């Protein structure tokens, strides 16, 4: 059962959710002198232990640095500038740090970023309530399970794509654009150092496999798997055997193995709300739009939106000017759609014909297109610049 608490005087902004979006927003609002409270349904330990993203775009690093939130990632994160592609046609590496705008990623596990953001939020005097599940949002009033209502002049739904923020906004007439990419990934976290110096993308007739560094001792792998896969069907042996096959270790050398820490199945789906808010309710992060993980954009969009939403709230709450809220949507949506366009492009590059492609000729056509795209990326500098600019940009 959740804790009981009493709401105090009306807060400036009630933030629902303590993921990257909610915590960046909370920190920035405190910077602007706006009082806020974060309501998070999980316990602190669960929030701080949730391993998800790891690749931060240069824009995210700039935002976090400007607002004094980057000490951890600047000291413990690692700069990453290359990725490699493997297929039956061999292997090639792109030094994307020297292509496009010359930007790189900073690899820093999301749970560490969340830990840093939370510590800083508390250090700045922010209020947060864990184990406080929000059941309903209406007109600035937030109903908490087993707790008193909390009211704010504004409510920020930063509660992810299955949260109540989205449901409350849908009730106000928001429309959703949606795509099911038709593939799933077994996301595997292993206690082993990275096997490659770069991010690795392997195209294989058995399905896509991916390799992403997280820290010196933890690595993330992905295996494309059929919809409805039960992670329990994947033993450690099966995971390592399949990774070895798809990452073609016989040709390119072995992987550094270690115990599997966590497996989860992620269905690749994307959606975008046509309006990220209205009136007193505004959304940021996955709540405002879910992006498939194929180009590692989700946490970066969350940081971007939290930054813009904080500015809009500051303008209206400190200067009584609500024009920033309308601009929040106008500013973010084109960037969100650019990220979705690239993510979709990546998805079609990484995955061959889907399992539903039962027509053999269709499947052959799909695979040939996939290889033509890969070949273009290998040989065309223009294509490589396009890739680098979109891969690192937000
Ligand atoms: P989050 O992180 O889901 O946080 C939402 C928070 O809201 C809480 N909550 C509630 N609290 C109170 N009441 C309720 N009713 C609530 N309902 C929910 C939840 O407990 C939670 O704490 O959303 P946010 O802040 O928008 O952040 C989004 C990112 O977490 C997400 O986009 C990324 O993790 C996506 N992603 C990646 N993004 C990147 O930028 N780079 C990557 O390398 C990357 N890799 C990934 C990923 C996502 C993955 N999965 C699991 C989908 C890799 C994976 C495997």
Indicate whether 9 pLDDT > 90: no
Average model confidence (pLDDT) for the chain?
94
Residue nearest atom 15 in ligand 1 by C-alpha distance: 134
- Cα 304 to its chain centre, rounded Å, is 11
Cα 286 to ligand 1 centre (Å)? 6
Residues 6+ apart with CB under 8 A from 334: none
Distance between CA atoms of 278 and 280, rounded to whole angstroms?
6
The whole-number pLDDT of residue 221 equals: 98
pTM: 0.94
Indicate whether 10 pLDDT > 80: no
Ligand 1 proximity of 298 Cβ (cutoff 6 Å) = yes
Ligand 1 proximity of 22 Cβ (cutoff 6 Å) = yes
Would you list the DSSP string of 86-126? Answer: EETTEEEEEEGGGSTT---EEE--HHHHHHHHHHHHHHTT-
The whole-number pLDDT of residue 5 equals: 37
Ligand 1 proximity of 40 Cβ (cutoff 6 Å) = yes
Residues 6+ apart with CB under 8 A from 381: 99
Ligand 1 proximity of 302 Cβ (cutoff 6 Å) = yes
Of 3, 5, 15, 17, the one to substitute when testing ligand 1's pocket (max ligand atoms within 8 A of C-beta) is 17
Average pLDDT rounded to a whole number, residues 126-134:
97
Residue of 267, 34, 340, 21 whose CA lies nearest to 156 = 21
Residue of 74, 68, 73, 65 whose CA lies nearest to 31 = 68
- 19 φ, ψ (degrees, to nearest 5): -90, -170
- Classified as helix, coil or strand, 178 is strand
Residues with catalytic function:
80, 201, 293, 297, 391
Ligand 1 proximity of 109 Cβ (cutoff 6 Å) = no
pLDDT by residue (tens digit) across 169-214? 999 999 999 999 989 999 999 999 999 989 999 999 999 999 999 8
Q: In 10 A of CB 343, how many CB atoms? A: 23
pLDDT by residue (tens digit) across 54-69? 899 999 999 999 999 9
Is residue 186 within 8 Å of residue 214, measured between CB atoms? no
Q: What architecture (CATH level 2) is domain 181-269?
A: 2-Layer Sandwich (3.30)
For 11-54+109-175+274-345, CATH number out of 3.50.50.60, 3.90.870.10, 3.40.50.2300, 3.90.1150.10 equals 3.50.50.60
Output the CA–CA distances (angstroms, integers) from residue 91 to 251, 253, 267, 277, in the order listed.
10, 12, 27, 45
Distance between CA atoms of 261 and 13, rounded to whole angstroms?
37
The whole-number pLDDT of residue 394 equals: 80
The whole-number pLDDT of residue 8 equals: 45
The whole-number pLDDT of residue 357 equals: 65
Q: Where along the chain do its domains lie?
A: 11-54+109-175+274-345, 181-269
Residue of 55, 78, 353, 82 whose CA lies nearest to 200 = 82
SS3 breakdown of the chain: % helix, strand, coil, rounded to 5? Answer: 40, 25, 35
Q: What is the DSSP letter of 215?
A: S
Cα 163 to ligand 1 centre (Å)? 11
pLDDT by residue (tens digit) across 283-322? 999 999 999 999 999 999 999 999 999 999 999 999 999 9
11-54+109-175+274-345 and 181-269: identical CATH topology: no
């Amino acid at each position: 059962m959740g804790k009981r608490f009493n709401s105090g005087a009306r807060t400036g902004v009630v933030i629902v959710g303590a993921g990257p979006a909610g915590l960046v927003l909370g920190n920035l609002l405190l910077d602007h002198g706006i009082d806020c409270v974060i309501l998070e349904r999980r316990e602190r330990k669960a929030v701080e232990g949730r391993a998800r993203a790891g690749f931060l775009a240069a824009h995210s690093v700039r935002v976090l640095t400007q607002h004094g939130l980057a000490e951890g990632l600047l000291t413990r994160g690692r700069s990453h500038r290359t990725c490699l592609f493997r297929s039956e046609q061999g292997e090639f590496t792109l030094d994307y740090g020297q292509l496009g705008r010359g930007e790189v990623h900073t690899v820093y596990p999301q749970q560490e970023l969340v830990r840093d953001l939370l510590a800083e939020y508390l250090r700045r005097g922010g209020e947060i309530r864990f184990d406080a599940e929000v059941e309903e949002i209406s007109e600035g009033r937030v109903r908490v399970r087993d707790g008193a209502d909390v009211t704010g002049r504004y409510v920020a739904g930063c509660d992810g794509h299955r949260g109540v923020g989205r449901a409350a906004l849908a009730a106000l007439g928001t429309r959703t654009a949606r795509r099911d990419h038709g593939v799933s990934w077994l996301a595997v976290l292993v206690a082993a150092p990275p096997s490659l110096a770069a991010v690795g993308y392997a195209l294989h007739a058995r399905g896509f496999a991916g390799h992403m560094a997280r820290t010196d001792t933890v690595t993330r792998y992905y295996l494309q798997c059929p919809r409805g896969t039960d992670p329990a069907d994947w033993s450690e042996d099966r995971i390592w055997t399949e990774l070895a096959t798809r990452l073609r270790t016989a040709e390119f050398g072995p992987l550094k193995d270690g115990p599997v820490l966590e497996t989860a199945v992620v269905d690749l789906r994307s959606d975008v709300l046509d309006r990220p808010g209205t009136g007193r309710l505004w959304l940021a992060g996955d709540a405002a739009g879910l992006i498939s993980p194929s180009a590692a954009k989700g946490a970066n969009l969350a940081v971007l939106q939290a930054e813009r939403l904080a500015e809009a709230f500051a303008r209206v709450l400190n200067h009584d000017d609500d024009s920033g809220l309308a601009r929040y949507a106008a500013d973010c949506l084109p960037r969100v759609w650019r990220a979705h366009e690239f993510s979709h492009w990546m998805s079609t590059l990484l995955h061959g014909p889907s399992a539903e492609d039962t027509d053999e000729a269709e499947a052959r056509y799909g695979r040939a297109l996939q290889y033509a795209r890969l070949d273009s990326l290998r040989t065309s500098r223009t294509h490589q610049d396009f890739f680098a600019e979109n891969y690192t940009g937000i």
